[in-house]
Amino acid sequence: MTPSPEFILLTGFLGSGKTSLLRDWLGLPEAADTALIVNEAGEINVDGAILAEAGGVPMAMLANGCVCCSLTSDLVFTIRALLEERGRSGLPPFRRVVLESSGLSRPGPILRSLAPLAPLGLRVRVVATCDASQAAERAAHFDEAAAQLAAAGTVVFTKLDLRDVVEAEALVASINPLATRLVEPDRAERARRAFLAGADEAAARLDLPEPPLAHPRVGVLRLSFAETASWEDRLDLMEDLAAFCGDRLLRVKGFIRRPGEEVPLLVQAVGTLFSPPVPLGGAAQAPEGLVVIARDLSAAELRAGLGSAPVHVASFRDTPLACSPA
């Protein structure tokens, strides 16, 4: 049976190296079964022209608008059209469809817009580029940059020749300790690992080390269930999180268990969009619980907002930290 294609959302703030990473990827033989969608916010399609020179893959444009707010229906239509045309061509199905979003796009609304494509069974993941030379400044002053990093399963550090990556790595770890952090100076290998390493993102990690930095508005919280929590309580929690947090919810990842069953279910969300829980037999020993990454939300506020839900809420940190080393 042919596996469903991946949908890879390539996000990252303005000038963080998304197009360069894609160009490096398109130059590799592994990219032959890739379809590409480029979202250019302006009327002049510069990125599309650059990537067209890399050549060899079907490419569609979403121009003159931001895909997260004004072009969501166009995105669904474009994905369908690419997959259907490939099927009519008699060629093997695409293994992945990559969307390069504009530098000001937030991942949450983009992924929510994919709901009409649920019957296709797309395997969705988010890759974010992070400019190592400007990470702290961007994340401190632009909500979009923090939202992009928080949503990512893999964060790819770029411009490694301009500044040591240690500070940028620590910042990303504070915003999204769940992400795989990819530091690779060889550009071809960096692209290969960014687009082919989806399996590395499968396991949720709840025993995360304390990062040395924190974004002043992005908090990382731990949720654990009381012994009295039922299966229905666990399912209700995901709906309650989305309803209470709204746009403040950036990322959720962790495990839940049906009472009496050993195999946990992996829970993931970007923004308020939760993927269906899936069994993960290799994580039988993992503790049950969720890691929640949210903006402008304290543990006490979330606990109060969840009402009588049988859930414990704790913060990774006792005190707020700054975006630069102390």
User: 244 and 182 in one domain?
Assistant: no
Positive/negative CA dihedral, 114, 116, 117, 121: positive
Mean pLDDT of 87-101: 90
One domain for residues 40 and 97 = yes
Residue (of 6, 239, 11, 5) closest to 110 by Cα position? 11
Is there a single domain that holds both residue 121 and residue 23?
yes
Would you say residue 323 lies in a domain? no
- Whole-number pLDDT of residue 226: 92
What's the pLDDT tens digit per position in 112-129?
888 888 888 888 899 999
Q: Specify the pLDDT at position 217.
A: 75
Confidence of residue 281 (pLDDT cuts 50, 70, 90): confident
127 within 8 A of 99, measured Cβ to Cβ: no
**In angstroms, rounded to a whole number, what is the distance separating the alpha carbons of residues 128 and 11?**
5
Residues 187 and 277 in one domain: no
- Residue 31 amino acid letter: A
Asked whether residue 113 falls in the same domain as residue 179, the answer is yes
Q: Is residue 211 part of a domain?
A: no
Distances (CA, A) of 120 to 1, 123, 143, 269, 273: 14, 9, 32, 19, 17
Task: Judge whether 136 lies within some domain.
Answer: yes
Confidence of residue 215 (pLDDT cuts 50, 70, 90): low
Provide the 8-state DSSP code for 179: S
167 and 325 in contact (C-beta within 8 Å)? Answer: yes
Helices (H) and strands (E) in the chain, counts: 10, 14
Q: Are strands 34-40 and 180-182 parallel, antiparallel or unpaired?
A: unpaired
Domain range for residue 11?
Answer: 6-201
| 193 and 87 within one domain | yes
List, in sequence order, every residue forming a beta bridge with 38; answer none if it has no partner.
Answer: 61, 100
Both tokens of 125, joined, read 């993941």
**45 and 14 assigned to the same domain:** yes
Same domain? 311 vs 163: no
Average pLDDT estimate for 264-285: 83
User: What is the structure's pLDDT at 127?
Assistant: 96
Side-chain half-sphere exposure of 106, counting CA atoms within 13 A: 19
Phi, psi of 2 (to 5 degrees): -75, 125
**Domain stops at, among 201, 233, 251:** 201
| Boundary residue ending a domain (170, 201, 232) | 201
Q: Where are the beta strands (DSSP E) in 81-189?
A: 96-100, 123-131, 154-158, 180-182
Listed in order, strand segments (DSSP E) in 41-198 are 59-63, 96-100, 123-131, 154-158, 180-182
Domain check: are 106 and 60 in the same one?
Answer: yes
Lowest-confidence pick of 36-50, 153-167, 293-307: 36-50
Model confidence, pTM: 0.74
Please say whether the beta carbons of 188 and 294 come within 8 A. Answer: no
Lowest mean pLDDT among 4-8, 36-40, 96-100, 297-301: 36-40
Domain CATH number, residue 233? 3.30.1220.10
Residue 209 belongs to some domain of the structure: no
Residues 86, 111 within the same domain: yes
Question: Are 139 and 83 part of one and the same domain?
Answer: yes
Q: What is the arithmetic mean of pLDDT over 141-168?
A: 89
CATH number for 174:
3.40.50.300
* Same domain? 174 vs 67: yes
321 has pLDDT over 50: no
Average the pLDDT over 243-265 and give the result.
Answer: 88
From the list 44, 72, 69, 47, the residue with the least C-alpha distance to 59 is: 47
Q: What's the number of domains the chain is made of?
A: 2
